[in-house]
Structure 1
Amino acid sequence: MESGLKAITSSVNAELKEDETGSNHNLLEKLQES
């Protein structure tokens, strides 16, 4: 489980680095769906 959380965290961080403004809302929606 912990390794899964680390994978999610790293992918989230990568997305935030790509677009720190526009993708934040979409990212939150994605997290809430899962």
Structure 2
Amino acid sequence: MIFPKTELQYISTEIGYGVVAKEFIPAGTITWV
């Protein structure tokens, strides 16, 4: 399960892909990737 306001985005050749927030995620929100 992934938080609905996030997306998988290419960061760099060293890092590869990462999960990036598209909108503000409120404090206390549990995110699990």
The interval holding the TM-score normalised by the smaller chain is under 0.3
When you count helix as a share of all residues, which structure comes out higher? 1
| Structure with the greater alpha carbon radius of gyration | 2
TM-score (norm 1): 0.25
When you count strand as a share of all residues, which structure comes out higher? 2
TM-score (norm 2): 0.25
